[in-house]
């Protein structure tokens, strides 16, 4: 290679690219020997697989024993925010709890507004004009209220559709949904702090003032 020819950029070490939550836990649990024997990426992938499995399995077990919707689709993206980008404002406990509460409220109120709170779910009856209005209104209201309340949490958009599409509509079950979110949030606090992450107990410290 000639002296004038630019040298190829060095690839960043994988350790700088892996999820820092799992990296912190590996270091604290003294599992560094795994990293000396195996490639780093599979170690991170396995650790996150186990962590994600245990986190959601706990709520699924509660749902199975209680017969209530302690597990629902929007918990998945919430868990990813918690464990892959925990320092973002959208992953803070405040935004998570407020965001899902807003989604639940908007979803149910939209059903009441169009008179579908006791109707079968859309997957049974099909999408009617009233169902379309309920779904569109619930999602629009959820987005607007999250902005007004400075509580952006994208997975809450899935929560409001779960309700406005009639999948979960009983008031008690709506309360269960928020309790499940609170349990998942508590798990995130424990796991992130165990990993040495400066994860907030309520609002993100990195959020700009007024955001």
Q: Give 3-state DSSP helix, strand, coil % of the chain, rounded to 5.
A: 65, 0, 35
pLDDT at residue number 112: 98
Write down the H helix ranges in 115-170: 122-125, 129-148, 156-164
What residues does each domain of the chain span?
Answer: 32-194
Q: Which residue has the tokens 């820092």?
A: 20
- Using alpha carbons, select from 22, 103, 74 the residue that is nearest to residue 184: 74
Burial class of residue 91, CB neighbours in 10 A (0-12, 13-18, 19+): buried
| Residue whose tokens read 């998570």 | 96
**Residue 188 predicted with pLDDT over 50:** yes
Q: Give, in degrees to the nearest 5, the angle at Cα 183 between 53 and 134.
A: 95
Q: Which pLDDT belongs to residue 22?
A: 61
Average pLDDT, the chain: 84
Q: What average pLDDT score do residues 183-195 get?
A: 89
In angstroms, rounded to a whole number, what is the distance separating the alpha carbons of residues 153 and 93?
10
pLDDT of residue 1 exceeding 60:
no
Q: Which of 78, 77, 104 is nearest to 164 (CA)?
A: 104
Which of the residue ranges 3-7, 24-28, 192-196 has the most confident prediction, judged by mean pLDDT? 192-196
Report the C-alpha gap between 195 and 20 in whole angstroms: 8
For residue 153 the two structure tokens come to 């949490």
Question: What digits encode the pLDDT tens for the residues 37-77?
Answer: 777 778 767 767 877 888 889 999 999 998 998 999 999 99
- How far is residue 207 from each of residues 63, 95, 149, measured CA to CA in Å? 34, 11, 14
Residue position matching structure tokens 């994600």: 52
115-152 pLDDT, tens digit per residue, is 999 999 999 999 999 999 999 999 999 999 999 999 99
How far apart, in whole angstroms, are the C-alpha atoms of residue 189 and residue 82?
9
Structure token pair of residue 20: 């820092």
């Amino acid at each position: 290679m000639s002296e004038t020819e630019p040298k190829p950029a060095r690839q960043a070490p994988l350790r700088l690219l892996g999820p820092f939550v799992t990296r912190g836990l590996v270091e604290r649990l003294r599992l560094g020997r795994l990293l000396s024997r195996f490639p780093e990426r599979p170690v991170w992938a396995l650790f996150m697989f186990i962590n994600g499995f245990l986190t959601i399995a706990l709520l699924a077990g509660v749902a199975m024993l209680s017969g209530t919707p302690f597990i629902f689709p929007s918990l998945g993206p919430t868990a990813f925010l918690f464990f892959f980008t925990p320092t973002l404002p959208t992953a803070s406990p405040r935004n998570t709890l407020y965001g899902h509460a807003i989604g639940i409220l908007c979803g149910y109120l939209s059903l009441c507004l169009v008179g579908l709170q006791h109707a079968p779910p859309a997957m049974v009856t099909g999408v009617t004009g009233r169902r379309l209005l309920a779904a569109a209104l619930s999602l629009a209201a959820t987005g607007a209220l999250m902005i007004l309340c400075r509580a952006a949490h994208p997975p809450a958009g899935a929560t409001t559709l779960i309700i406005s599409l009639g999948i979960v509509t009983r008031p008690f079950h709506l309360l269960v949904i928020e309790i499940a979110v609170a349990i998942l949030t508590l798990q995130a606090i424990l796991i992130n702090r165990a990993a040495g992450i400066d994860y907030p107990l309520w609002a993100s410290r990195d959020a700009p003032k007024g955001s």
